[in-house]
Amino acid sequence: MAYTSMTFENKQTLTHDHMNNIISGIDELRAEKQPLTIDLNIPSGLKIAVLGASNSTKINRNEVEITVEPEDVGVSLSAYATYYDIGTTIGGYTIASSDVGTELTFIPTESDIGKQIGKPNNYAGNNNVKTWWMHLEEQFNCEVIPVCWSGSGMSSHEESVDRYKCAHSWHDSQIRKCGIRTPGTMNRTAPDLIISWRTGNDVTHEPYCTITENYFENVNWEYPETDLKEDGTYGYLEALSLTIKKLRAAYPLTPIVLGGAVFIKRVDYDNFPCTNGIHNFPAYNAAIKKAADFFGVHTLDFDKVNITFENIYPNYATDSSITPVHANNAGHALYAKQVIKDLVTKVGDLFDFNINQ
């Protein structure tokens, strides 16, 4: 299929020349650690939500569920209280530890303007790192909505720990954050794209996320109601399916892209491919691709960024030589190159464009 142009809903046009410039620019950045500086010249205005984990957190940029605006004064609002909201007073009520994980209803006063409810957990190691999605903002001239939580996964396997309540990707609070709230209401505008990349914690924590064999092969398949399986374990594909179900219910016209698992050293890292005692990394990536095919969505191949067990430390991660997990600037630049490449080569299918052939 040859695209001559793509027109946004706001009538801005992405031309064939733009596409050629993008692809040739990426080809020129093949050299290892070469700075990511492409003039993509893409029309601005896209809103991209990133449903991510610790590798994608950025303090002061991570989305909260509600920030009280002047238009919210006197309006009944609700949000899920997190561990990081304890002690916050809003609408005359001070959030207690017993409120964590509970949806609270409140009516803000003028003194509450600027207060936030639904705060996330951030990975502090990213403070001085230019995350992969920051590159995306720069190169696509777009706005990223980072819905990320350090320690989170697709599943709710840490729900018993207060600081992880509301953290799993299919929780209503996480789904809400992907949209942009209209002040004075609970209404949210859908993003143009949602990237779901929560794999690391599910992959490396035994026995939380098993991969259900032949999960999509039942002709009477229906969306699950929970990620908890009959044997008491948590199913990765169940959690992923439930996340997609809720995202599609909330934002029915928004394309969803699934991020693949990256090779990180956290468990049994002396043996390749890394295993959590149940499945290995390639098995998770195969499952993600099978889910993508089933739901008719695209994938981002984070496992194809040339980061390996042999070169990850200290080249692309700086946590420790024993368990390097989180990417440094060089690692995030490689992630960004792969994301840009995947989005560009699939962009005609990802966004709600009018395509003239």
For residue 306, give its domain range. 5-61+121-356
Same domain, 55 and 181: yes
pLDDT reported for residue 9: 43
DSSP letter for each residue of 110-174: GGGTT-EES-----GGGTT---HHHHHHHHHT-EEEEEE-TT--SS-TTTTSGGGTT-STTSHHH
Clarify whether residues 143 and 17 are in a common domain: yes
Q: What is the CATH number of the domain that holds 195?
A: 3.40.50.1110
Which H or E run contains 165? none
pLDDT at 277 over 80: no
Q: Are residues 97 and 174 in the same domain?
A: no
> 101, 119, 137: which is the final residue of a domain?
119
Strand pairing category for 188-189 and 180-181 = antiparallel
Give yes or no for a contact between 340 and 331, defined as CB atoms under 8 angstroms apart: no
- Look over the chain and give the mean of its residue pLDDT values, rounded to a whole number: 86
Q: Are residues 257 and 113 in the same domain?
A: no
Residue 76 in contact with residue 152, Cβ under 8 Å?
no
Q: Does residue 35 sit in the same domain as residue 70?
A: no
Average pLDDT over residues 254-265: 90
In tens, the pLDDT along 59-100 reads 999 999 999 999 999 999 999 999 999 999 999 999 999 999
What is the tens place of the pLDDT at every residue in 307-333? 988 899 999 998 988 889 999 999 999
**235 shares a domain with 201:** yes
Q: Is the pLDDT of residue 2 over 50?
A: no
Domain identity same for 152 and 211: yes
Domains contained in the chain, number: 2
- Residue 173 pLDDT more than 70? yes
Distance CA 239, CA 230 (A): 14
Domain boundary among 119, 138, 158: 119
Is residue 273 domain-shared with residue 340, that is, in the same domain?
Answer: yes
- Same domain for 82 and 143, yes or no, is no
pLDDT digits (tens, 9 = 90+) for 12-58: 445 555 555 555 555 555 444 555 444 444 556 889 999 999 999 99
**Do 268 and 193 share a structural domain?**
yes
The mean per-residue pLDDT over the stretch 275-300 comes to: 91
Predicted pLDDT of residue 345? 81
Is the pTM higher than 0.95? The answer reads no
Tell me: do 183 and 74 sit in the same domain: no
